[in-house]
Amino acid sequence: MRLRIGLAILAAAGAASAAEPDPAKLAQARSLVAEAVALDRAEAAGRVPRAYAQALRENLVDGLDKLKQEPGLAGVVQAALADLRRRDTAALAALRDRLVAQERSHGRAD
């Protein structure tokens, strides 16, 4: 019985830590989403050529794709990819702000 309780506690702890994203990957995800917002706004204002916007967007999608398997990031990355494809800048900006708040709760100041 004690062994089962111990194992259950260990499993719960493992699951909790697995849900916490690595700070470096969290920072990458936040930046990629923020870059997508900046790009969308620059494109909407007519300040960047179409070929540049398309190619940079592809880079951002590739970068986010690589983070899909990261613990604690899967949901937000999927949402970001969907918003990127829909060009939903407002949703991307909200996601960015959520990621910034998450980073700050982990002690990052900027």
Partner 1 sequence: MGGLIEIVLGIMTAVGGFVDVSELTFAAQAGSRFGYSLLWVFALATVGIIVFGEMSGRVAAVARQPVFAAMRQRLGLGVGLFTLIASTMVSLVTCAAELGGMALVLKLAFSGEYRLWAAVSVVTLVVTVWVLPFKWIERLFGILGLAMLVYAAAAVALHPPWAEVARGLAPQFPLSAGRQDSLAYGYFVVAIASAVMFPYETYFYSSGGIEEHWTRKDLMVNRLTTGVGFSLGSLLAMAILIAAAVIFRPVHVGPQAPGTVVLEVAAPFGKTGVAFALFGMLLAFGGAAVETCLAAAYSVAQFFGWPWGRYRKPAETPRFTLAWLIAFLIAAALVMTGIEPLQLVEWSIVFSIVVLPLTYLPLLLIANDKKFMGTEANGWIANVLGWSFYVALAVAALAAIPLFVLTSGGQK
Q: Which residues bind partner 1 (CB under 8 A)?
A: 22-25, 27-28, 30-32, 34-35, 37-39, 42, 46-49, 51-52, 54-56, 59, 63, 96, 100, 107-110
**Distance between CA atoms of 66 and 100, rounded to whole angstroms?**
20
**Distance between CA atoms of 73 and 99, rounded to whole angstroms?**
10
**CA angle, corner 18, sides to 8 and 62, nearest 5?**
155
Shortest reach from residue 38's CB to partner 1, in Å = 6
Q: Which residue number, 63 or 74, has a Cβ lying nearer to partner 1?
A: 63
**Nearest Cα to Cα of residue 26 among 109, 81, 106:** 106
Q: 94 and 106 in contact (C-beta within 8 Å)?
A: no
**Distance between CA atoms of 86 and 101, rounded to whole angstroms?**
24
Shortest reach from residue 65's CB to partner 1, in Å = 13
Shortest reach from residue 12's CB to partner 1, in Å = 26
Q: Which residue number, 4 or 50, has a Cβ lying nearer to partner 1?
A: 50
Alpha helices of 67-88 — where are they, by DSSP H? 74-86
Q: Which residue number, 46 or 75, has a Cβ lying nearer to partner 1?
A: 46
Shortest reach from residue 6's CB to partner 1, in Å = 32
Q: Which residue number, 5 or 51, has a Cβ lying nearer to partner 1?
A: 51
